[in-house]
Amino acid sequence: MSGQELTLRSGRFRAERQGDWRKLETLLDRAERHGSRSLNDAELLALPGLYRSALSSLSVARAISLDRALVTYLEGLASRGYFFVYGSRGRTFARIAGFFSASWPQSVQRMWPDVLASAIVMLLAAVAAYLLVMADPDWFYSFVPRELAGGRTPATSTEDLRATLFSEGFTDELSTFATYLFVHNAGVSMLAFAVGFAFGLPSLLLMAYNGFTLGAFVALFAMRGLGVEMAGWLSIHGVTELLAIAIAGGAGLHIGRSMVFSGDRTRLEAASVFGRQAAQAMVGVIIMLLIAGVLEGVGRQSINVTEIRFAIAGGTALLWGAYLFLPRRSRVDG
DSSP state of 65: T
pLDDT in tens, 48-71: 888 888 888 888 877 776 677 777
d(C-alpha 2, C-alpha 14), whole Å: 18
The pLDDT of residue 149 is: 81
DSSP state of 332: B
The pLDDT of residue 173 is: 52
Partners of 332 in the β-ladder: 39
The pLDDT of residue 50 is: 87
d(C-alpha 250, C-alpha 111), whole Å: 7
d(C-alpha 119, C-alpha 207), whole Å: 8
Q: How far is CA 165 from CA 56, 172, 242, 264, in A?
A: 68, 15, 19, 53
- The domain spans of the chain are 3-90, 103-325
The pLDDT of residue 5 is: 57
SS3 129: helix
User: Would you put residue 9 in left (φ > 0), alpha (ψ -120 to 50) or beta?
Assistant: alpha
Query: Residue 224: what are its φ and ψ, rounded to 5°?
Result: -105, 10
Q: How far is CA 115 from CA 17, 129, 196, 263, in A?
A: 45, 21, 13, 21
Positions of the chain with pLDDT lower than 50, given as ranges: 1, 89-90, 170, 330-334
pLDDT in tens, 182-207: 677 778 888 887 877 777 789 999 99
SS3 263: coil
The pLDDT of residue 140 is: 95
In this structure, which amino acid lies at residue 242? L
Q: Is 118 in contact with 246 (CB distance < 8 Å)?
A: yes
Q: What is the DSSP string of 187-232?
A: HHHHHHHHGGGTTTHHHHHHHHHHHHHHHHHHHHHHTTT-HHHHHH
The pLDDT of residue 332 is: 39
Q: What is the DSSP string of 29-50?
A: HHHHHH-GGGB-HHHHHHHHHH
d(C-alpha 74, C-alpha 61), whole Å: 9
The pLDDT of residue 194 is: 80
Q: What is the DSSP string of 292-324?
A: HHHIIIIIHHH---HHHHHHHHHHHHHHHHHHH
Q: How far is CA 139 from the centre of its chain?
A: 34
